[in-house]
Structure 1
């Protein structure tokens, strides 16, 4: 920062002042009169006083000049600081794009300006998919470079008078200030997705990102700037839940689903904090129709909506970082229940618990499990973890590491919903699993379809060939039960034999030795 150079102007002013003083003194013979007066009053030593006064005057002038320069510098620094504050208030410092504040101001202005001529505007709410993984893998510096390159490339995908803004983190928004119909917004969204599909070259790394874009239109969706942004945000989250890398227009249906999602998140957080989850246990029977183990099934009740399906709240928990805490609660609850049954002399040999891909990727998960087992004095052999193929395949290398550690601990491992997704024979061979569960979808049609029966028999035979304990789940009719019991299956599970039961009901069944279903008649 350079000091303002005002010295020349100040010296010029002093010179002019001195010249005027000199002319005036010459006109009135001030110097000659002063000399004559000084000689007449030598005792007063006026010449020394004059010299002293002149010296003091120059010192004072130097002080004034210095203070004047300091004051000018302070003013300049204050102006620069005010300019910086203005930039921080209205501009994103990383990408140099307008920030949320200025974007909302411009959006409100455009909406108000165009309301009289009945023109339409569109908001595109953009989120970079899996951006956190870029930061975790390559570092935050690379993440920042990616955001800057994204901003430049996205700017090239829109018109000059359209506004691109960075809202927060990896979220951006675009204001299309004048569109003829919603299709124009879709064209821009497709152009941005296509334009950003090419890899970004950063520090020698080729990084690809996909986008989720939500679109809201004014005036039909809303005439409020804040509400319009909220609607575009909800549409964007809908895209993420549907698989990402796409765009979606806002609708009231999406709004209802988003409200439901937020309510479920709130219910989940409340349930975690106050331990409001509960478990039911579904028996698994062997071919002699005796209970050989149980599967723990998580339940969640809401005062407003009643029982919430796990198929609804589990994916939401996974996507919002809550599944880890929930799984820990489930494992703890199962271990406590096993300990309670043991004290009641109820012989439950094994309980299966479903775990997600989040746990398989968590390097601390095995340690957490071991700590819970020790705290409740439960043998690892009493616990079985069921993992879907989808969960394992999300990170096969890390999954195998975690599964090996769990098996070394003594926990039984089972592939759940086998055949629904990947069914890779090569991975099935190398995974450290002991059990295979055939999904309900392969059982549903065996009564009416020869092809369904062939597929079911093939999966059961595969499990036997790999020396895996095969459990068929989802058995709901007598025909299914009789057919499955004659197959290569080792055990059977489903509503035909028993629905999920409260722990007290399980206790009563076991204490009364009601561990089988006579003649396949009891449901």
Structure 2
């Protein structure tokens, strides 16, 4: 019995110890969980504080970014730090328009036919005031200062019809509303304007900022020439100018890089007493081109481009010299060849230097080349030109006055010792269309030329009546389709070999 009691007490003791052990374990675990919870809470608090700090910092950064964007946008869309929109602003404004059912009236306005503002930076206050006045008086959909000389303005209406008369009326209305005076350097000065405009719909093939700008810039030169300072774009005129520039570009390319694109034809010059045998020839340049453009079309394109004139003249001289040299080496008889040059080419010695190189091997050929100086509206020879004439004459070249009488040049030019012959403009014979017609002015010029011992050549003889009229004068030469059409190189060589 005692043994059983001891066993029971031992069991109770073990159970008690186990309970205490479990209680200690759970207490220990609770302490761990509590510690973990405290750590997590602390970390969360720290993270929350850090997040708030980051948010404040991010907000500050975002504000700085926004501020920078606004500053950048202003610098891109406005002139400097001013409130004056630039061309980028103008384009951005128009791009927002729903073009499908819209009509645009766009204008380029020159601030004074003669410049008023020398720069934007130096006249910001004046330009800002002018800009505000124009914006208020005209109330356009878009307005911007292109540069110190030009404004661009656009009106937008919800209409797909484009009317030229309405465009002109709108243009004049704008001119009327523009301020007539402007402050410049604290002084109020009058300002006149030139305005080029065009009206188009959003569906037009011409729609596009670049296309419109090119056309308005082109039209501005006509606005500047117009008495009222206004010109509405003419697409046919613009396309003609673009075609001219296209042809000029090809012409420049041929002159600069492909001289073989040019060839010569030869217009015979006869004495009136014998139309069977030419006494001399005029070399006329022709250009191989896809449009078959003749010299009346392409030569005026380089009239104001002396460098191109000079290069083309060198091409002609080289071809004439090469042809004469071949004939000389073949022991054939040479006849004078006339070439056209402008008076401006005598102002320097570039042509002279080139001629020296060309005839270096056969200087005798110079005696068979006559340069015809185009009289033009003014035929004034400077000291430099006279000096070049003298040096070229010393090389053996001869000179003629071309189109004499075409302008009011001083007849005393015929006294010059450098000119051996005179070509009388065809206008003096064109009125002779019948046997009874007279040309008294032609007779007067012939008389003056003869008194100065010049060889006289009458150009543009196209019919028998003109020929018979000129034939009355002794020792006169004629050139024109009545006597002969221009000859190709092969025809010329065959004609001379016969």
Query: Does the TM-score normalized on the shorter chain lie above 0.5?
Result: yes
- 1:279 is the counterpart of 2:264: yes
Match of 1:520 in 2: none
Displacement after TM superposition at 1:335 (Å): 0.7
d(CA) in 2 for partners of 1:442 and 1:395?
A: 24
Say which of 335, 338, 344 aligns to 2:321: 335
Decide whether aligned partners of structure 1 residues 236 and 464 sit closer, same or farther in structure 2, where only a CA change above 3 A counts. farther
Alignment of 1:466-505 (within 5 A): 466-487=452-473, 490-505=476-491
Equivalent residue runs for 1:183-198 within 5 Å = 183=169, 185=171
Which of 356, 380, 383 lines up with 1:370 in the alignment? 356
- Contact 2:103 / 2:199 at 8 angstroms: preserved in 1? no
Would the aligned equivalents of 1:122 and 1:176 in 2 still touch at CA under 8 Å? yes
**Are 1:389 and 1:422, in contact at CA under 8 Å, matched by a contact in 2?**
no
User: 2 CA distance for matches of 1:243 and 1:468?
Assistant: 46
Deviation per residue, 1:129-187 (Å, 9 max, x gap): 9xxxxxxxxxxxxxx999669x98x98999744655349xxxx6442434973356479
Distance in 2, matches of 1:477 and 1:450, equals 14
**Any residues of structure 2 matched to 1:67-146 within 5 Å, and which?**
102-103=86-87, 105-107=89-91, 109-110=93-94, 113=97, 118=103, 120-123=105-108
Checking the alignment, whether the CA contact within 8 Å between 1:464 and 1:488 is kept in structure 2 is no
Shift in alpha-carbon separation, 1:181–1:234, aligned structure 2, 3 A: closer
Tell me how far apart the structure 1 counterparts of residues 332 and 111 of structure 2 sit (CA, whole Å).
Answer: 55
The alpha carbon displacement at 1:466 in A equals 2.4
Q: Name the SS for the 1:355 alignment partner.
A: strand
What is the Cα deviation at residue 409 of structure 1?
3.3
Aligned to 2:427: 441
The verdict on how the C-alpha distance between 1:506 and 1:232 changes in structure 2, with shifts beyond 3 A counting, is same
Which moved further from structure 2: 478-487 or 406-415? 406-415
Any idea what the Cα deviations from partners look like across 1:254-273, whole Å, max 9, x if unmatched? 23312321331233134221
Q: Is the 8 A contact 2:363 2:395 kept in 1?
A: no
Report SS of the residue matched to 2:108: strand
2:109/2:151 contact within 8 Å kept: yes
1:181 match: secondary structure: helix
Conserved 8 A contact 1:236-1:248: yes
**Partner of residue 385, structure 1:** 371
Query: 1:350, 1:191 → 2: CA distance?
Result: 67
Residue 216 to residue 117, structure 1, CA distance change in 2 (3 Å)? closer
- 1:181 corresponds, among 164, 167, 171, to 167
CA distance in 2, matches of 1:190, 1:390: 42
1:464/1:111 Cα in 2 relative to 1: closer, same or farther (>3 Å)? Answer: farther
Which has the higher mean CA deviation after the structures are superposed, 217-226 or 271-280? 217-226
Report the CA distance shift for 1:117/1:216 in structure 2 as closer, same or farther (over 3 A).
closer
SS of equivalent to 1:414: strand
Alignment CA distance shift 1:215-1:414 (3 Å): farther
TM-score (norm 1): 0.61
1:333–1:185: structure 2 CA closer, same or farther, 3 Å change rule?
A: farther
d(CA) in 1 for partners of 2:418, 2:237:
42
- Match for residue 255 of structure 1 among 238, 243, 254: 238
Provide, for residues 434-454 of structure 1, a one-character-per-residue CA deviation record: whole Å limited to 9, x for no partner: 221111121121234977511
Q: CA 1:311–1:293 in 2, change beyond 3 Å: closer, same or farther?
A: same
Identify the match of residue 247 of structure 2 among 264, 272, 275.
264
Q: In 1, distance between residues paired with 2:358 and 2:334? A: 18
Pairing 1:296–2:291 present? no
Alpha-carbon distance in structure 1 between the residues aligned to 2:415 and 2:116: 42
SS in 2 for 1:486: coil
Report the secondary structure of 2:152's partner residue: strand
In 1, Cα distance between the equivalents of 2:177 and 2:361? 56
Distance 1:234 1:462 in 2: 47
Instruction: Go from structure 1 to structure 2 and tell me whether the alpha carbon gap of 1:298 and 1:125 turns closer, same or farther (over 3 Å shift).
Output: farther
Unaligned runs of 5+ in 2: 1-67, 136-142, 157-165, 182-192
Higher-Rg structure is: 2
* Pair 1:417–1:264, CA change in 2 (3 A): same
Q: Is the 8 A contact 2:271 2:477 kept in 1?
A: yes
Specify whether residues 456 and 163 from structure 1 end up closer, same or farther in structure 2 by C-alpha distance, changes over 3 A only: farther
CA distance in 2, matches of 1:243, 1:385: 40
2:336 to 334, 344, 350: 350
C-alpha change, 1:280 and 1:451, in structure 2 (3 Å) is same
Change in CA separation of 1:342 and 1:383 when aligned onto 2, cut-off 3 Å: same
Q: 1:458 to 1:106 in 2, by over 3 A?
A: same
Question: How has the CA–CA distance of structure 1 residues 117 and 249 changed in structure 2, closer, same or farther, with 3 Å as cutoff?
Answer: closer
Indicate the larger mover: 358-367 or 268-277: 358-367
CA 1:349/1:334 → structure 2, altered by over 3 Å: closer, same or farther? same
Deviations 1:398-429 (A, max 9, x none): 54444344334332111111112233224454
Pair 1:232 & 2:216 matched: yes
